[in-house]
Amino acid sequence: MHHSRPILLIIAALASVTAWPSNGFAAGGRAPAELILMHLPTSGSRDYDELRQIAGTSTVLHLELTGGELWRIPRTRLTAFTTLASAKGVEIIRVDGPRARLLSPMIRSTQMTDRQKSVMAMSMAESATMGMSMMNAVSAPLAEYELKRSTAAMQSGETGTTVRLQLAPGTTVTARPISIAPTATGYVWSGEVVGSGEPLTFLWSKDGRLTGTVTLGERMFVIRPMGGSMHAVIEQLAAKMPQDHAPAPPAMLEKMGMREDPLVRQGDASMLRAAPKSTARTDSGDMRPETDSDITITVLVAYTAAAARHYDDITRDLVELSIEEANQSFRMSGIDNVRLKLVRSYQSDYVETGTHFDHVWRLADRGDGMIEDVHGARDRVGADVAVLIVDDANGCGLSTRVNADAEEAFAVVHHGCAASMYSLAHEIGHLIGARHDPALDSHEEPFAYGHGYVNGKKWRTMMSYKDACNGCMRLPIWSSPTVIVKHEPAGNELANNARVIREGAARVARFRKDPATAGQASALTSGADR
């Protein structure tokens, strides 16, 4: 099923670090047949041993997440084995031959629920959307196998390891993996498109759920689960995405005698507010950079009902992806010891009215009667930072201030930008102390080197504004003169946000202590109230 223009089909997921031998070990003959076996008898049982015996010199590899096993069986024994396995109730999935596509077009029409129809309609109504395709995901065991196969080859040092991604009938792109990491329910896979080097990040869950974003030139493609094996792939035009920060109301600027809008230029809502009672210090004693220690910034994410209705499951499909994209951006920028950790995601009863400026201060201000639930929740789970996801396309996001203190470590993010434009990471970057590119923001506090970087009209780093490069794409890279993008440095002496994150993350990670009991955070992220 396809709506409007053809859309990119992207899938990838990950694999564990388990060794994955080559299947070309049948010297002098055809390679063994590869079978994924589900619902096997218990290992060590009589029925299981009987299958092993008739399989002969099979190789057994475990698919830990989906519970299957991959057996490689000499083809001379294949007929006898499959006959016996079927008689014992074993589900057999053939995997030898051409590599499977992890997503494929829906050939037959499927009856959709009212909610699925609503999610589709809202996605198509977004101004940046150019089209949508409905896809079916391959079975979870086959997906886990494909991902393990390609990932293990990369980990063993083999060159040319790639994943093929279908764009449209007759059109494909090829991506190579960069990193693999486990999640609570699956894997996060990050890679790049062969030739262009453009980034891909996906989450794969053992129930077959796929979610992710890929950028190709000026187009972005968002994979959004719709329930079951059904997935929507949404094509969006970057130029039509909301601006990074919503402008301040003209009346407010006029009242305060401001010619320039600090929300747009600095992304700092504090310039229209009084300083907090306890302003964040920037001297070296307060920063105490811990560049060699592992640093975890805990994050609470609340979302409104208006934002949640755009997703089948906003926590799994957006919030977790946005967190993982931020972590991948740290790794790609040489910030290997810093990570964000989601400690709670839940729906707030806040009803959106007003501007991003209103949203962020209603979120941050304790005792104003607005979004009061977030403060207690933040304290209970020990969240260093709190973010509110809204359905407000007037901008991509806004933080309280650059280099915020503990009591103002809050940001608001429009759902449509949180992952695809890396806006959740961008706003948390402001809270840590990172600023926009110098063309937009010439302020040098708290760090003279704390700016984003723009490479002509080619690309920009995480904190840079699209106006500085005629709308060029944002890369999930923190500016740094030692990070190289396509043979060119991603920063200079004024643009080293990787250093800002590396040195400032420890300060933010001390905003809240860990929960009193180890299981408290995980308990609060279970069920519908994740």
Percent of the chain clearing pLDDT 70 (strictly above): 79
**Is the fold of 33-94 the same as that of 250-275+291-512?**
no
- Token pair, residue 216, equals 């190709």
pLDDT above 90 covers what percent of the chain? 56
For the segment 292-314, the average pLDDT, to the nearest whole number, is: 96
Instruction: Judge contact between 493 and 449, C-beta under 8 A.
Output: yes
Higher pLDDT, 46 or 219: 46
Strands ordered across the beta sheet of 338-347: 338-347, 295-303, 385-390, 410-414, 397-399
CA 279 centroid distance within chain: 32
R_g of the chain, CA atoms, integer Å: 25
- When the candidates are 3.30.1180.20, 3.40.390.10, 3.40.50.300, 1.10.287.130, the CATH number that belongs to 250-275+291-512 is 3.40.390.10
Rounded Cα–Cα distance for residues 119 and 432 (Å): 34
Q: What is the pLDDT of residues 61-93, one digit of tens each?
A: 899 999 999 999 999 999 999 999 999 999 999
Q: How many CB atoms lie under 10 A from the CB of residue 158?
A: 11
Which of the residue ranges 28-37, 298-307, 353-362 would you say has the lowest mean pLDDT?
28-37
Residue 443 DSSP label? -
Spatial CB neighbours of 300, under 8 Å, sequence gap ≥ 6: 343, 344, 345, 374, 377, 378, 381, 383, 385, 386, 387
Helix (H, G, I), strand (E, B) or coil at 134: strand
The pLDDT of residue 198 is 86
Cβ distance 33 to 57 under 8 Å?
no
Q: Cα angle vertex 87, ends 84, 91, to 5°?
A: 90
- Which region among 19-28, 318-327, 429-438, 483-492 has the lowest average model confidence (pLDDT)? 19-28
- Report the interhelical angle of 423-432 vs 497-509 (nearest 10°): 70
pLDDT higher than 60, residue 173:
yes
Question: Is the per-residue pLDDT at 41 higher than 50?
Answer: yes
Q: How far apart are CA 213 and CA 425, in angstroms?
A: 15
The span from the CA of 10 to the CA of 28, in Å, is: 37
| Pairing outcome for strands 410-414 and 385-390 | parallel
> Tens of pLDDT along 42-54?
999 999 999 999 9
| Mean pLDDT, residues 17-42 | 66
Given a contact cutoff of 8 angstroms between Cβ atoms, the answer to whether 451 and 438 are in contact is: yes
d(CA 14, CA 187): 5
Host H or E run for residue 222: strand 219-227
Residue with tokens 């709308």: 471
Cα–Cα distance, 231 to 236 (Å, whole number)? 16
b/e 336-345 (16+ beta carbons within 10 angstroms → b): ebbbbebbbb
Q: Name the burial class of residue 368, with classes exposed (0-12), middle (13-18) and buried (19+) by CB atoms within 10 angstroms of its CB.
A: exposed
DSSP 262-323: HHHHT-BGGGGSPPPSSPPP-SHHHH---TTS-EEEEEEEEE-HHHHTTSSSHIIIIIHHHH
With a cut of 80, say whether residue 159 has pLDDT above it. Answer: no
Report which secondary-structure segment, H or E, holds 225.
strand 219-227
Phi/psi for 65 (5° steps) reads -80, -40
Confidence of residue 258 (pLDDT cuts 50, 70, 90): low
Q: What confidence score (pLDDT) does residue 527 get?
A: 41
- Tell me the pLDDT band of 148, cut-offs 50, 70 and 90: confident
pLDDT for 379-408, tens place per residue?
999 999 999 999 999 999 999 999 999 999
| Among 256, 241, 204, residue whose Cα is nearest residue 66 | 204
For domain 33-94, give its CATH number from 3.40.1130, 3.40.50, 3.30.70, 3.90.70. Answer: 3.30.70
Residues facing residue 105 across a β-bridge: 135
SS (H, E, C) 55-75: HCCCEEEEECCCCEEEEEECH
pLDDT score of 107 more than 90: no
Q: Is 461 exposed, middle or buried (0-12, 13-18, 19+ CB in 10 A)?
A: buried
| Structure tokens that stand for 10 in this block | 């992207």
Strand order of the β-sheet with 473-474 is 454-455, 459-460, 473-474
Domain boundaries, the chain: 2-15+100-240, 33-94, 250-275+291-512
* CA 454 to chain CA centroid, nearest Å: 23
